[in-house]
Structure 1
Amino acid sequence: MEGKHKVILTDRKYLLVEGVRHVESFDDNEITLDTTMGFLTLKGEGLHITQLDLQKGNLTAEGFFASFLFQEDKGRGRVKGKNVLKRLLK
């Protein structure tokens, strides 16, 4: 599964993500995922996960998707916005 990553959004309502490792957090306005290509934060309204299969790395969700934010995985590079003090004490 490493390296395989796909995001398909249809009509800003239906989402399929392949390459999901873990769901970090979710609520009606935001879903945060750890994927094979780093962290992915999905923002919108009325968001809900309709299907999740971590063995295959697939997630489907519905709602109104307003934005996607990709961040590098901590193991692969620097995460933007990371606390400066944490970086210095690492």
Structure 2
Amino acid sequence: MAMEERKANRSRSHNVILENREKLSISGVEHVNNFNSELIILETVTGVMTIKGCDLDVNKLNLEDGNVIIHGTVYSLVYSDKDAFGSKGSGFLGKLFK
């Protein structure tokens, strides 16, 4: 991704709408790192989001607009910094695995 595109992505807003724990709409998504029926990992403009649940399904994915719609039963949403897992020695996990 070019530098100009990254700057444009940073200016995007990030919103999360969860309806009845069954429909999750997210804006400001930059990349989908991993997904299956129990775990979805997304890079958003505000950090990495991990979604855990049951029967999770990515119904709509438009990375140009940064929008994702997920259906299924959502158990948890967790944010972490983009580099939390990247470098040894930084953050909680880095200290744990020294």
Instruction: Decide: shared fold, TM above 0.5.
Output: yes
Equivalent position amino acid for 1:72 in 2? D
Alignment TM-score, normalising by the size of structure 2 = 0.77
Determine which structure has the larger strand proportion and give its number.
1
Relative distance call for 1:80 and 1:50 in structure 2 (3 A) is farther
Q: What fraction of aligned residue pairs are identical, expressed as a percent?
A: 30
Q: Is the 8 A contact 1:50 1:61 kept in 2?
A: yes
Residue 28 of structure 2 is aligned to residue 19 of structure 1: yes
> Which segments of 5 or more consecutive residues in structure 2 lack a partner in the other structure?
1-8, 85-89
Determine which structure has the larger helix proportion and give its number.
2
Query: In 2, distance between residues paired with 1:49 and 1:80?
Result: 30
Alignment TM-score, normalising by the size of structure 1 = 0.83
> Which segments of 5 or more consecutive residues in structure 1 lack a partner in the other structure?
86-90
Q: Which has the higher contact order (CA 8 A, sep 6+)?
A: 1
CA RMSD of aligned residues (A): 1.8
